[in-house]
Amino acid sequence: MGGIIGALACAAGRFKPGSLLLLDSAIPVAAERRPFLAELGARMLACADADAMKQRQALERLSRDYVLQHLASPHDDRDTLDQIIEHMAGGDASRCGSIFKAASVVDFAPALRRIDARVSAIAADPARLPIDGFRACRPTSEVMQIRRVGHFVQLLAPSTVNAAILCMLDGSPLRGAGLEPVTAAAAAATSA
């Protein structure tokens, strides 16, 4: 959700970043992602009106569905997935639902184009980031992959992510043990 929040802030002109590094973000550059985000947002907002126990149970079901269908990779262990689900289920249904609903109507492409700074992405699963849409917005952006890790790349491959962050800060190309460039063809093969 961090990539979506960052892109929404850029779209609204809330900040002008010096650079933006998206870490395994599901940022919906592609229009086909919008109906899913709208549905998830509506379902979260609907359970916000329930009493605390029912809200928690509903959020846990939604979170489990979302994580297992859209974030989980074969490289995530059960404990990691359970921690992600627990974190999401412990959130504020109204706030999370509002973020997803807002993300469903925003065209992120202009926001990404407007950022007058370096934008790069690191993906554990390149299929999650619509490479063609991202590259259409940011043709010179680097899109890299860390293989054999799950969604939380900063926790599962911290030294690789830290090396990439240092590259962003000093303006050099992304590099680090385990980072590989991603092509649209490779992303399509991953999602097939």
- Which of 70, 117, 64 shows the shortest CA–CA distance to 87? 64
- What does the block give as tokens for 102? 């807002």
pLDDT by residue (tens digit) across 39-92?
A: 777 877 777 777 777 777 777 777 777 666 665 566 566 666 666 666 666 667
pLDDT category at 111 given cuts 50, 70, 90 is confident
Q: Residue 185 pLDDT > 60, yes or no?
A: no
* Mean pLDDT of all residues in 151-160: 82
- What does the block give as tokens for 172? 């050099």
Q: Name the packing angle between helices 34-47 and 93-105 (round to 10°).
A: 160
Domain boundaries, the chain: 2-191
Count of other CB atoms within 10 angstroms of residue 9: 13
* Mean pLDDT of all residues in 14-33: 70
pTM: 0.67
Q: Where are the beta strands (DSSP E) in the chain?
A: 19-23, 118-123, 143-146, 179-181
Predicted confidence at residue 96, as pLDDT, reads 74
Q: Could you tell me the strand order of the sheet in which 179-181 lies?
A: 19-23, 118-123, 143-146, 179-181
- What does the block give as tokens for 36? 């899913």
Predicted confidence at residue 124, as pLDDT, reads 79
Does domain 2-191 sit in CATH 3.40.50.1820? yes
